[in-house]
Amino acid sequence: IRRHMFYYFYSLVNGDIENTAKHLLAMAKVGVGGDIPGFKRAVTDLFRRYLLVSAHGNFSLAQLILASVSIGGRYRIF
């Protein structure tokens, strides 16, 4: 899990949206009725928004983590 966490942050910092979602999903467990494609789509949109507005200081890394946990709950991926 440490390696996936490292690559998650590395991909996020370097703007590699697809790998960021891949490593986040690799750390998660899919619940009964989990929607993997929907989750990937939602977190990819979240990461894109983060990269666009974080340079202006309007979206912190902590907010990104909390939002991704919230999205995981919606799509039953924990």
Asked if 73 and 21 count as a contact pair (C-beta separation under 8 A), the reply is no
Domain count, the chain: 1
* pLDDT tens, position by position, 15-68: 899 999 999 999 999 999 999 999 999 999 999 999 999 888 888 888 998 999
Domain span at 37: 2-74
CA 69 vs CA 10, 48, 56, 74: distances in Å = 19, 16, 23, 9
Q: What is the pTM of this model?
A: 0.85
Asked if 8 and 20 count as a contact pair (C-beta separation under 8 A), the reply is yes
pLDDT of amino acid 24: 92
